[in-house]
Amino acid sequence: MSTEKLKEKINDILPFLNERQKRIFLGAEAKSIGYGGISKIARLAGVSRPTIHQGISDLESGGNNASESVRVSGGDPKPKHAQNKKLLKTIESLIEDSTRGDPMSPLKWTSKSTRHLSEELYKKGYEVSYETIRVILKQLGYSLQGNDKSLEDSHPDRDAQFKYITMQVKKFLKDNFPVISVATKKKELLGNYANKGQEWRKKGSPRKVNGRDFPDPKGKEIGIPYGIYDQGKNLGWINVGCDHDTSDFAVQSIHRWWTYMGRKIYPDAKKLLICADSGGSNGYRVRLWKIKLQEFANKSGMEITVCHFPKGTSKWNKIEHRLFSHISMNWKGHPLTSHDVMVNLIGATKTKTGLKVVVKIDKRKYPTGIKVSDQEMEKINIGKHNFH
């Protein structure tokens, strides 16, 4: 009989038997199988091996050793730990104190694992295995849980800010002025290193990459993709930097987009709207970002409007899910061994909705630590939105 048929047979018969009959029936089935039968029947029926051993013993004795008493369902004796209310309270106090951050809790700075709980209980005079503690915790209503990223440092006017940004975007697009979302994608270490994701290859022949992501001692090569996403035309521009992600690099990336792509699409544009995250190289408090934007405005002759998203809301920036996510999917599982490989993979990114991406390598040097004085800031022709 196949394993599936045997399991079906056991499940069909067991509901009609009392405890002693179940034991004898399962013992008979295990005995008929021979070697390995006890383990197999125990697994299929969901009972312990000692139960089946007892059933075989009853069979071999001809029923003389079989007890005539039959327990009702749920009549098993309660485990000792379930009867010890003091033990249950001790376990709960260990968990709760560490959760609340009690400075005197012995588990405050350690993993609240069942093994650590078992060790602390032993110090208090209780000898309980970690497996038993696992059962107790489930009975007390506990479960293994990760962190819930639901708390946000949000501004009280966050919804109003989003509505204002949306209104600005619609206004610019209606007037046929460019609206771009900008951000820096994660800096990538170039070399034969593992890249997240999987790709189709011959079975048993994965790409061989370095076991560790340590940079080459001769010097590390990096690729910094700064992206510009045209919301009106569904076009992407990536400027791949080789030095540092500074505000100068960010504005230079926008300037290159305008030179190579933007002004060809919007030859009559007098205004530009930039939607950006509130932090990083294009952060709203970064002085160098404002200085460089003023220089770009002077060269392009455009009036530049910048809308920063509230803190912690970068995932709503269009560039994240309309450009960067597709780039990540396109190069998944493919080691970024050089700038050329990165450029080719980014440039080949397309979607069914018509996204096209142009990418350029930028080998300029962008030094860090540049200070902007108050006198320089006073020369900027900048004003706040009416919203503020």
DSSP annotation string for 116-135: HHHHHHHHTT----HHHHHH
Q: Phi first, then psi: give them for residue 310, nearest 5 degrees.
A: -60, 160
Q: What local confidence, expressed as pLDDT, does residue 145 receive?
A: 80
Tokens standing for 326?
């597709």
Report the alpha-carbon distance of residue 317 to residue 278 in Å, rounded.
11
Q: Phi first, then psi: give them for residue 13, nearest 5 degrees.
A: -90, -40
Q: What local confidence, expressed as pLDDT, does residue 290 receive?
A: 97
Q: Phi first, then psi: give them for residue 2, nearest 5 degrees.
A: -70, 160
Tell me the percentage of the chain whose pLDDT exceeds 90: 46
Higher pLDDT, 109 or 15: 15
Compute the Cα dihedral for 64, 65, 69, 70 and give only its sign. Answer: negative
The length of the chain in residues reads 388
At 172, which amino acid appears?
Answer: F
β-strands 188-190, 271-276: how paired? unpaired
Report the alpha-carbon distance of residue 185 to residue 247 in Å, rounded.
14
Higher pLDDT, 94 or 73: 94
In this model, does residue 318 exceed pLDDT 70?
yes
At 153, which amino acid appears?
Answer: D
At 19, which amino acid appears?
Answer: E
Provide the 8-state DSSP code for 149. -
Tell whether pTM > 0.85. Answer: no
Q: State the DSSP string of 173-241.
A: HHTT--EEEEEEPPPEEESS---SS-----TT-PPP--SS-PPPTT--EEEEEEEEEETTTTEEEEEEE
- Band the pLDDT of 386: cuts 50, 70, 90: confident
In this model, does residue 83 exceed pLDDT 80?
no
Tell me the percentage of the chain whose pLDDT exceeds 70: 87
Report the alpha-carbon distance of residue 329 to residue 326 in Å, rounded.
5
| Cβ neighbours around 284 below 10 Å, total | 15
Average pLDDT, whole number, for the chain? 86
Report the alpha-carbon distance of residue 370 to residue 335 in Å, rounded.
34
Q: Phi first, then psi: give them for residue 359, nearest 5 degrees.
A: -135, 140
- Least confidently predicted of 126-135, 244-253, 318-327: 126-135
| Cβ neighbours around 235 below 10 Å, total | 20
Q: What local confidence, expressed as pLDDT, does residue 152 receive?
A: 63
CB 55 within 8 A of CB 49: no
At 350, which amino acid appears?
Answer: K
